[in-house]
Structure 1
Amino acid sequence: MIGSVVDLEITDVAFGGEFVARHEAELVFVRGTILGEKVRARITHKRKRGYLATVEEILHPSPARIEHPWPLGSVAQTGAANYGHIELTAQRAMKAHMLRRELKLAGLTSGLGGASPEMFTVDAVPEADPAAPGWRYRTRIWVDKLATGVGMYVPNLGKHVPLTEIPLASRRLEALQVCGNAWDALATTTEPFHVQLVAPSASPPLLLANGQAFSAPGQPAAPVVHEVVEFQGEKFWYELAADGFWQVHEYAPALLVASVFDAVSVTPGDTLVDLYSGAGLFSQVAAELVGPAGKVRAYEGNELATRAARKNLAAHPWAETYALTLDAQTIAEIVPGADIVIADPPRAGLGAQAAAELARSSATQIVLVSCDARSMARDVTAILQAGRQLTYAHALDIFPNTHFVETVCAFV
């Protein structure tokens, strides 16, 4: 079967930017296509479940197919914009199909905990640049510094390709002028190396390289950034390490704060536990909502992020921060006494055991924020199987032109 060229009809949307077909009763996973298309593809690899194939010809294109605006980001090259060949509204439909498929594979059946895979749809978010819908939204992006300019590695070519523009990057990053030769003094060897570009909302853009921060070529800067998030007419200010975690979409921090606190009812005097709290995005808003009569306990495994959260919460002495490795055991130990728990784990998710421990806690409300469809599906299913009810499911398209999608789920 490997090496065969076969005609396939795409019947579902899989995790990781792949689409699903069948050939001779075997599952075949294909990138760069769209649900409903008929394609001619070459089978390249055997997997534990099915085969992987690459498209050689689109036999019957979807009406949603467009010319990729950034060919270097396509599946055939870097894959950095692996949904860029799909019209934006259709991208969201594909992501909804993918979420539902992952939930079903994880064991979620209609009625479990009042939930159904069909509850999950994907909402558009405001455009970072209305002149470039679906692009120019990333305030954090990684590229490779070349001898001249910057580039990205293209596996099929086995080499780096220089960049003349970075369509996913925020317009504010253009001020750094990384695509020319302005930063070539950083390249002390011929080997490419990673640099990070950061465009904070409340401080100037920075380039991070070799453990240093720069505001312009040859101009070192403090490796600290400032962010501002508005919620219910109030501005919340944050300081964090320049290379610290922060949501990459221009509007994601405010959108997620709004979604999380729409999903739960917080009243003054509540005790709220924030798991994987990072620099305190949710904790600072929560501290304001619970007030001095309440408590916020923020837990984060990264010591630098914990220090940032401690500083960001300094005006709220009823909010405490802890550096702690989070797993099923520690979650079971720290959650007791909480009225509300917010969990925003990294891409790997909580894990089924930790999710079940959280579900068995005495918290009256739980919110799970996920950036990975597969780990979300596993964690949501584990929480429901442990007896919770799903009361809120919101998916946000904060990663347009890629297969990624953010979800916010709430349980009682």
Structure 2
Amino acid sequence: MTRRPRARRPRGRSRVGERFTVEVGPVAHGGHCVARLSGETDAGRVVFVRHALPGETVEVEVTEGTEGDRFWRADAVEVAVASPDRVEPPCPYAGADGCGGCDFQHVALPAQRSLKAAVVREQLSRLAGLDVAVEVEPVPGDDEGLHWRTRQRYVELPDGRRGMHKHRSHEVVPIDECLLEAGTDPTLHVRGRAHSVAEGGFWQVHPGAPEVLVATVLDQLGPRPGESVLDLYAGVGLFAGALADVVGPGARVVAVEADRDACEHARRNLGDAVEVGRGPVARVLAAAYDEPFDLVVLDPPREGAKRAVVEQVAGRHPRAVAYVACDPAALARDVAVFAEHGYRLSALRALDLFPMTHHVECIALLER
């Protein structure tokens, strides 16, 4: 989940390590808040601050930035005026010099969800021109925001210990325990259907995710017996299987997935009820399955489906599209493209599948 900074040429003198006192502004997409510096030299400079909350007054230390950069990145290292939503992080590794896996451990859980809702609203407004009410809902299966990751990856250290990367860094923090780790295997049975997944293959990591996602997609699409279904970025067939059960035998259900192992497991999980097509979604749609489909499910990776896929989906003239998104910016960009082709956002559900982090899962219904 931790991204590494791109190598780039410095634009003047480095300001890393310098400290400033700032009043913290609104939350922004990516797990930080926006602040602006005051003072004669750096007045108005935008700083993206981690470990802070809107409305606080904090001392920040610059972690990335040179004089010529448009913005800097910084950590809040001291809090002068705290938000009432600030709490003591439950994990000793959360904070400015700790593990980079969690963004919001310093925030009360209801306030975390409010911050995420604000980000989803802002992205849909800025990138899709929509004013949408958003509520981020808790999902059963975690322990007050902890112990929900049924799959976890660590860095193995030379001394036999394990660790995790700092935020936007290759530096590793040794840890004894990650409080997000569930310590249990993922649930692979959903609505009476068993799913096999390759070792290391994709499956939702929150224990409650598969059931609530399937229920939401079925509720939004309202599939009818005999309707045709196109499931894109289908993985091992979670949505395709559930929809095939509803539209019934003889209805055309197609699942498209690029990963070879996932396709093999999808065929095993779905049997003859679903046709599985392998390959990058844009490439497959350009060559096959060009007939109309009644329903489409989109569950793309973090970067979204993008224009080529959205336009090919619209070209199949589905009556409804369920878009499952783990990135609100990508969702908003794709919703804007759908709007160009006559599809409107008619329902949105946001789920807190990644507590303590800035990530949020959205399921959007698009209809002609």
Same fold by TM (over 0.5)?
A: yes
Q: Of 174, 179, 186, which aligns to 1:200?
A: 186
1:69 partnered with 2:96: no
* C-alpha distance in 2 between matches for 1:156 and 1:200: 28
Alpha-carbon offset, residue 394 of structure 1 = 0.5
Q: Of 25, 33, 45, which aligns to 1:11?
A: 25
Alpha-carbon offset, residue 10 of structure 1 = 2.1
Any gaps of 5 or more consecutive residues in structure 1? 111-115, 173-198, 202-226
Alpha-carbon offset, residue 325 of structure 1 = 1.0
User: SS state of the match for residue 11, structure 1?
Assistant: strand
Q: Of 155, 170, 182, which aligns to 1:144?
A: 155
* C-alpha distance in 2 between matches for 1:7 and 1:25: 13
* C-alpha distance in 2 between matches for 1:145 and 1:267: 50
The 1:157–1:344 alpha-carbon spacing in structure 2 relative to 1, beyond 3 Å, is: closer
Identity %: 33
Alpha-carbon offset, residue 381 of structure 1 = 2.0
Cα deviation 1:153-186 (Å, max 9, x = unaligned): 44799754433222111132xxxxxxxxxxxxxx
Q: Of 337, 340, 362, which aligns to 1:385?
A: 340
**Which residue number corresponds to residue 250 of structure 1?**
207
* C-alpha distance in 2 between matches for 1:159 and 1:237: 40
Q: Of 246, 249, 259, which aligns to 1:289?
A: 246
Cα deviation 1:361-394 (Å, max 9, x = unaligned): 3111111101112211211222123321111100
CA contact (8 A) 2:31 2:50 kept: yes
The 1:331–1:319 alpha-carbon spacing in structure 2 relative to 1, beyond 3 Å, is: same
Q: Which amino acid aligns with 1:32?
A: H
CA contact (8 A) 1:331 1:358 kept: no
Q: Of 29, 45, 50, which aligns to 2:65?
A: 45
* C-alpha distance in 2 between matches for 1:73 and 1:67: 10
**Which residue number corresponds to residue 134 of structure 1?**
145
Q: Which amino acid aligns with 2:317?
A: S
Q: Which amino acid aligns with 1:163?
A: I
* C-alpha distance in 1 between matches for 2:69 and 2:226: 51
**Which residue number corresponds to residue 178 of structure 2?**
166
Alpha-carbon offset, residue 331 of structure 1 = 5.6
Alpha-carbon offset, residue 248 of structure 1 = 0.6
The 1:284–1:329 alpha-carbon spacing in structure 2 relative to 1, beyond 3 Å, is: closer
CA contact (8 A) 2:258 2:281 kept: yes
User: SS state of the match for residue 245, structure 1?
Assistant: coil
* C-alpha distance in 1 between matches for 2:116 and 2:171: 31
1:228 partnered with 2:189: yes
CA contact (8 A) 2:23 2:58 kept: yes
User: SS state of the match for residue 323, structure 2?
Assistant: strand
Any gaps of 5 or more consecutive residues in structure 2? 1-13, 38-42
The 1:155–1:281 alpha-carbon spacing in structure 2 relative to 1, beyond 3 Å, is: closer
CA contact (8 A) 1:5 1:41 kept: yes
User: SS state of the match for residue 119, structure 1?
Assistant: coil
Q: TM (normalized to structure 2)?
A: 0.87
Alpha-carbon offset, residue 75 of structure 1 = 4.4
User: SS state of the match for residue 384, structure 1?
Assistant: helix
CA RMSD of aligned residues (A): 2.3
User: SS state of the match for residue 104, structure 2?
Assistant: coil
1:265 partnered with 2:198: no
User: SS state of the match for residue 241, structure 1?
Assistant: coil
The 1:273–1:128 alpha-carbon spacing in structure 2 relative to 1, beyond 3 Å, is: same
The 1:95–1:20 alpha-carbon spacing in structure 2 relative to 1, beyond 3 Å, is: same
**Which residue number corresponds to residue 375 of structure 1?**
330
* C-alpha distance in 2 between matches for 1:85 and 1:13: 14
Cα deviation 1:264-312 (Å, max 9, x = unaligned): 1101101000000000010111110110131110000001100100010
Q: Of 101, 105, 109, which aligns to 2:129?
A: 109
Larger strand fraction of residues? 1
Deviates more, 1:2-11 or 1:280-289: 2-11
Q: Of 350, 358, 364, which aligns to 2:313?
A: 358
* C-alpha distance in 1 between matches for 2:348 and 2:167: 37
- Aligned pair count reads 345
